[in-house]
Structure 1
């Protein structure tokens, strides 16, 4: 199989996962505002699919029953489907730009309106703006984005909070720039959004004390770092100097000190988990990332040792099936090696992709976890 053929096969599998997820996924209300779409333009995936047995092609969100995988082919454009001898579906009307695109444009317009609002608009306000009943709008918005309008608005407001804190003159300025009109609501949201108090986050971790310890494991040298809120980094490298430089780069304004004695139990727990992945393992974590990244990391923590998942499946599980690249970016941004098991994410064809601490370490971790599961 050539590289081009393998790439096309992977793309086809990712598109198939999108079709499956759009028919089976029901957004979890507990993830309110977390799985925020990266861009309103992604509301409709940029491809069409055809069914070989009927010679009909459809939009990805067509309500028709999905055919068997072996009978489904994919097209980048309508013209490609036509040249292959397929005719348009009468239910989703992929050749009628006014049918599906109209609703997509309405939701995309509302997303932009919400993004620009200084307050969280009510459902009635949005309904009046687009001349659609509140009930129908609520259903349509959730169908297109995987979120309710309020969940989307809350997620965007939290993203603005993270963006405004580093550049605002004060936390109060960031509060109002982000759309918060009550200090109590701001502080309750900021703590779970940034992973630390807002003033400290704004100052690049200034005033935060981070203790660390290094040790040896079968994957090389390991560093574990802890703030007053929990483990803020678990890193691998070949030498301690590299580990210390990476930690300093992550928290340039923090007070960093070595504390091997008090962190010995934490270090032992992490290394034991590496060598014996089947054991029960739980540590308090200080997670610092965007709303989307934190949602990805939380989902990764539900994966048991010895199991793997594709980037496309992970995107589907968090309710953002079109955000495969963003999911990969969140995995790459993970600072908690092994503790947040991003090493369990593979390409759609099952092959091993990049890993922040080296592909060889990723291979060893996956193989060890699989063997541990067999032994159990």
Structure 2
């Protein structure tokens, strides 16, 4: 005998029991007089005491008030974000890195609580954020042709040794190379036609630094040169032949994750996001919020989305596997139709027998 199909309330109740973070409804508890998000950490109520509502106004119209633990209206979260954004502005405008205590006092929180909030919302610690600010200042000064020693001082590093102590940490290359726009580096490139249109691959001695497709070759090479304006760009189809074959094969019929040696250049946070993208299993997708949660930064969703958009090695760092919270396709540099095609092919390959 066929079992009756679950009702909408049955589905919502299971989401409450699972403490699902990705649901577009609220539940109320009649014995408590409060309404919550499905992911509320509070103990689930008895089924007979649960009521479901589409949004906060509907729950409040029924006489319920917002839970203080899960903050379903987002008021506490908005205050916390404002405090962290104020601290970020303080870091941006300071000549030297402010102390954690000064930042916490400015935001109105205790040090340890502020540190946790900053990591959740910004995705990095205040120290890492401050270092990225200094890195941007240094990069901008070098791009203007400022002498390395002067640029280092203006950026707030104090001495050149601080910049060179961890090669690539702040710029992805040495300050001298950054000042020269990549001068002294050679980017090998290869072109091909693929099922997704024109395909351009760029590689340094460290690995693949660019994969672009679906635009004309002039636009793709322009994008690559924008990253390395003074680097020597040299066509090397033979040297990249094996890599190109692997990428073309993947585009035509993906059967497994695309594994290539990569030269990923970005901030510490960006690289962390790109590494998280590479951990999304082949044939699966994640929402931006789920990706942020997997990185233990549930409130850094917007920062995660920005880092995904700054990925220069599409396919190898599979930003196409990130979708909207409701499963819908979201923005993709190479077009939503191509994103849909990639996801459908990966799902089909994952579901087919070996």
Query: Which of the numbers 262, 265, 276 marks the counterpart of 1:288?
Result: 265
Match of 1:368 in 2: 345
Alignment partner of 1:163 is 2:140: no
Alignment of 1:297 with 2:271, yes or no, is no
The alpha carbon displacement at 1:282 in A equals: 2.9
Change (3 A) 1:62 1:21: closer
Matched-pair contact (CA < 8 Å) for 1:166–1:203: no
- Contact 1:211/1:257 (8 A) holds in 2: yes
Partner of 2:317: 340
Q: State the aligned residue count.
A: 326
Aligned residue in 2 for 1:151: 125
Among 214, 221, 242, the residue aligned to 1:265: 242
What are the equivalent positions in structure 2 for 1:131-280 lying under 5 Å apart?
137-143=111-117, 145-146=119-120, 151-168=125-142, 169-189=146-166, 191-237=168-214, 239-279=216-256
Deviation at 1:300, TM superposition (A): 0.5
Unaligned runs of 5+ in 2: 1-15
Greater RCO between the two (CA within 8 Å, min separation 6)?
1
Residues 162, 290 of structure 1: 8 Å contact kept: no
Residue 189 of structure 2: SS of its match in structure 1? strand
Query: Bigger CA drift: 100-109 or 305-314?
Result: 100-109
Cα offset, 1:88, TM superposition = 5.1
Find the aligned partners of 1:370 and 1:105 in 2 and give their Cα distance: 40
TM-score (norm 1): 0.69
TM-score by length of 2: 0.73
Check whether the contact 1:222–1:234 (CA below 8 A) recurs between aligned residues: yes
2: distance between equivalents of 1:108 and 1:221?
41
Q: 1:366 to 1:70 in 2, by over 3 A?
A: farther
Residue 184 of structure 1 and its aligned partner are, at CA, apart by 3.6
Take 1:129 and 1:155, find their aligned partners in 2: how far apart are those partners? Answer: 16
Q: Distance in 2 between matches of 1:365 and 1:55?
A: 47
